[in-house]
Amino acid sequence: MVTDPPSGSSTSNSSADSRWDQAKLLDLSDSVRAGLRDSRVFGPDTEKLSSFLEAALKDEERRYPTLDFETIEYARLDKLLAEVLQFADAMKTSDLTLELLLRLRVHVSQAKHLRRLWRRRFREKFFMIDQHRCAVLVEGGPLKDVSFNSSLDYDLGKWQTRRVTGPVSEVEGNLQFEPGHWWLNITCAERDGIVNSSQEIPTKGRYGITALPLLTGSEEPIRHNTVRYVREGHTSDMHVPLISQVGRKIRIIRGYKLNSIFAPEAGLRYDGLYTIRQYGFKLDSNINKYRLELTLERATNQRSFNDIRKVPKPSQLDDWNLYEKLEGDKVRWLQGESSYLEWKLKRQEERVDREEWQRARLFKATFSLGAVGRGEQQDRNTTREP
């Protein structure tokens, strides 16, 4: 992650390229922040964090520090320092061993000093770092080639894309998307070609592979690697084309509004290939709605779902928070204060509904996830066999 630059180095750009690995620093930042959010005292990356803080402080003593603003911004190092300090404040009333308490105090002192030095060196640029990230989000980041359209419906979002490219082979498509791939919204997934529509319907994307976004409805685990997905609505909501896909593998994308213990915390996530084992729908005369039930079995020899569940990472949640703020600002600017308040209320209601559902399912989810973990260990054992 960090190597000493050649002696006599005096320019920040040449040294930064050889000294600081942005990707590894982002991995460290994400790992430590995820641990802090789970109330772990830094976890397995404690030594790496200590090494980074020490190296960064020594770097600030140089006449020309090599850790540039772009690396700090990319690796979310400002967020890392802030969350270390927030965690320390929250742990003041907790019982820690003497060793952990001393280490935490060292990290806090280093984080405070390093943040003070960065503020002094970068001045208003450091305080405006999130505004710059928001611009990057639109210009070349996760919202590239996606535009806001105030006339679209709230339920599926208010974004559209005009990016159209030619078809790609299935082999190229499988290389393009690995389980754990994450997007801010369904339109971003359409832009990249995994789906062919921003609607919640099964489509064959740019790569000729059927993908099903599970954005609403509910889902329950029924046995190892197998879930039952349920949704209610009109006949147009029953995904009738999937009848011909029974017994075949399709791509499953889960959204944060899905009532499921497997749904991502925010945005949309590609969870891998699933085989449709059963398809059925019927009319519920009591509510005059149709009810769709799909039995989906996750294919083996894929990335562990325990790893996939770590997505979105803290840095991706940073992008999600900026995205929500950006959308709210656009609603207010283009549609007025009344529409903005309506948008904000709807988001709050969605958040409350998810929290209530999660509390109601917490006990059952504990057992379900335990079963998934045992099953995945069996999969790994099977994979090692010739």
Question: By 3-state DSSP, what share of the chain in percent is helix, strand and coil, each rounded to 5?
Answer: 50, 15, 30
Distances (CA, A) of 368 to 149, 215, 227, 299, 353: 40, 21, 11, 18, 21
List the structure tokens of 271.
Answer: 């969870």
Total residues belonging to the chain:
386
- Assess whether the previous peptide bond of 167 is cis (omega < 30° from 0): no
Please name the residue that has the structure tokens 């960064």: 56
* Model pLDDT, residue 41: 66
Domain ranges of the chain: 12-127, 137-317
Cα separation of 253 and 190, whole Å?
A: 12
* Model pLDDT, residue 247: 94
* Model pLDDT, residue 116: 97
* Model pLDDT, residue 3: 45
Cα separation of 260 and 372, whole Å?
A: 14
* Model pLDDT, residue 295: 97
Q: Could you tell me if 224 and 276 are in contact, meaning their C-beta atoms sit under 8 angstroms apart?
A: no
In the chain (386 residues long), the average pLDDT of successive 10-residue segments reads 44 50 95 86 81 95 94 97 89 65 86 97 96 93 90 71 58 70 95 91 85 95 93 92 94 95 95 96 87 95 92 97 93 90 90 86 61 48 37
* Model pLDDT, residue 386: 36
* Model pLDDT, residue 362: 72
- Where are the alpha helices (H) located in the chain, listed in sequence order? 12-19, 22-37, 46-60, 69-74, 77-90, 98-122, 124-127, 129-139, 170-176, 186-192, 305-308, 314-335, 337-383
Cα separation of 217 and 230, whole Å?
A: 6
* Model pLDDT, residue 201: 94
* Model pLDDT, residue 217: 94
* Model pLDDT, residue 1: 62
pTM: 0.84
* Model pLDDT, residue 10: 36
* Model pLDDT, residue 13: 42
Q: In the CATH hierarchy, which top-level class contains the domain 137-317?
A: mainly beta
